[in-house]
Amino acid sequence: MSKIIMIGMSLRKDSLNKKYIQNAHRILSAEGRQLNPELLSFNDFPLPVYDGDIEARGLPEGAKLLGEKILSASAVIISTPEYNGSMPGPFKNAFDWVSRIKPMPWAGKHVLLLGASPGAMGAVRGLWASRVPFEAAGGFVYPEMLGLQKAHEAFDENDSLKDAANEERLKKILMKFIDHIGPT
């Protein structure tokens, strides 16, 4: 079966995207197909801002570790915030560091883009922007994406999705993505 890694691309402790990817992980783990998706924390991969002089001295440990995780997987499910209608800087920075590893870790990966935002657009502009580097790096980004709008009101005290419709939407796209990537 495909190895799937899942990560929320915000460093904030109370991140809405951490909560959303945790819910996605719960749904996939309970799915019963022995998918064993691995949930990662972005905080476990500390990275300086990309600088070619740092790279010339050797890749930062965080880039090596994240790159190894990506290389070991066949699919990556991401939940990302939207910053100023685009891909957040910390996410792009991590993407760029990982892209310096040979062979290119993002190449050939199946990618599902999720997002969460307190706004009414649910981070979808950030998801569209995030497609570009993945595709430039040779990843296969699933055509459908899902943004959780009004995400600051969407979770209960256990960080679970409160609304059955939000749970159902998330489950539906996850199952479609899993069916699409199939066993590898």
Residues contributing to the site for ligand FMN (CB under 6 A): 10, 12, 15-17, 81-85, 117-119, 121, 123
DSSP 127-161: HHHHHHHHHHTT-EE-S--EEETTGGGSB-TTS-B
Q: Which residues contact 152 (CB under 8 A, 6 or more apart)?
A: 16, 118
Indicate the residue among 41 and 84 with the shorter CB distance to ligand FMN.
84
Of 126, 49, 114, 43, nearest to 83 (Cα)? Answer: 126
Question: C-beta of 83: minimal distance to ligand FMN in Å?
Answer: 4
Q: Looking at the chain, how many residues does it have?
A: 184
Indicate the residue among 20 and 97 with the shorter CB distance to ligand FMN.
20
Question: C-beta of 104: minimal distance to ligand FMN in Å?
Answer: 27
Question: C-beta of 82: minimal distance to ligand FMN in Å?
Answer: 4
Indicate the residue among 16 and 63 with the shorter CB distance to ligand FMN.
16
